[in-house]
Structure 1
Amino acid sequence: MKSTSSTFVSHLFTGEVSGQTVNYRILRMQDSVFIYIGKKDEEVLDGLAVGLLSPYQDREAVTTSILESTESFDIAQKLAVKLNKPVFVSCNMNVDRLIAPVIESHLIQEIKERPEFF
C-alpha cells in the first residue's frame, strides 16, 4: 500500500478582542480553509457556516449555516470572496457590531502576513 503525505496545514494565532484572548485556528486544506474562532479558555464548536463563490455572479459568495451561527455566516461570506475559495467558519463567541470588525481585522492582517496558511 502506497502512503501519501497530507496536504493539510494548521496554524494558530491569538488576538485581543474587548479584553478577551481569542484563538484563531486555521486548517488549510487542498482547496478550502477551515477557520475556528473562540475564546482562549472556552473552545467549543457551536456554529459552523460555509461560504462558496457563486458561479453565476462575479465576486459574490453563497453562504449557508450548517450549525446556526450568524457570526460564522457573515465571516465565511466575506472570506470566501477575499480568499477566492470555499471557507468554513466556526465563530464561537457572541459578536456584536463593535467586536465583528476587530475579529475580521485580525483575520485580514494574518492573511496578509502569512498567506501560506490560507
Structure 2
Amino acid sequence: MDPVPRAVTIHNFSEKICDRTVYFHVMAMDDCFFLWVGLSANLEHLAVAMCSRYDSVPLSTSVLGDPSDTTSTSFAQRLAKKTKKQVFASINISHNESQLMLLIEKRIKQEMDSLPEKF
C-alpha cells in the first residue's frame, strides 16, 4: 500500500525582536517546506534550495526578487542542509540588518527544535 502523503500543514508565529514584530509563516509538505519571514505582509524575495548527492553545499537559486540580495538563497541553503529537505524561503528583511537576521535565525532554530513536525 502506498503511504498517504502528508497534508499541507500551516504554522504561524511571531516574535518581538530588536523592538520590531517579526512574523513567521511555515507551510510544511512531504519532504519540503516553505518559510516566509517578514516585518509586513509582502513577498519580495523567494529562493529554493535542496541537497544534492554530488555536493555538500545544497543547490539553490533565487526565484523571485533581486538576485544580488542573497539573504533568502543562503538561508534556504542552510535550512536545506540542516533538515535534508527541499526548502522554499522568503526572507523579507533588509540585508543591511545583520543583527536582526542573526536573532531571526536563532528564533527559527528554537522553533524547529521545539516543534520539528511543523517543518
TM-score by length of structure 2 reads 0.86
More displaced 10-residue stretch of structure 1: 43-52 or 62-71: 62-71
Percent of aligned pairs with the same amino acid: 32
Runs of 4 or more, structure 1, over 3 Å off, are: none
- Residue 63 (structure 1) aligned with residue 60 (structure 2): yes
CA contact (8 A) 2:38 2:91 kept: yes
Structure 1 residues without counterparts, runs of 5 or longer: none
- Residue 88 (structure 1) aligned with residue 88 (structure 2): yes
How far apart, in 2, do the equivalents of 1:17 and 1:9 lie?
25
Which one-letter code corresponds to 1:55 in the other structure? R
- Residue 28 (structure 1) aligned with residue 25 (structure 2): no
- Residue 100 (structure 1) aligned with residue 98 (structure 2): no
How far apart, in 2, do the equivalents of 1:108 and 1:63 lie?
20
Q: Alpha-carbon deviation of 1:16? A: 2.0
Partner of 1:19: 19
Partner of 1:46: 44
Structure 2 residues without counterparts, runs of 5 or longer: none
More displaced 10-residue stretch of structure 1: 43-52 or 16-25: 16-25
Q: Alpha-carbon deviation of 1:73? A: 1.0
Report the 3-state secondary structure (helix = DSSP H, G, I; strand = E; otherwise coil) of the residue aligned with 2:98. coil
TM-score by length of structure 1 reads 0.87
Partner of 1:77: 77
How far apart, in 2, do the equivalents of 1:23 and 1:100 lie?
13
1:31-74 per-position Cα deviation (integer Å, ceiling 9, x unaligned): 200001011xx21011000111022024x211110013422112
**Across the two proteins, how many residue pairs are aligned to each other?**
112
CA contact (8 A) 2:33 2:88 kept: yes
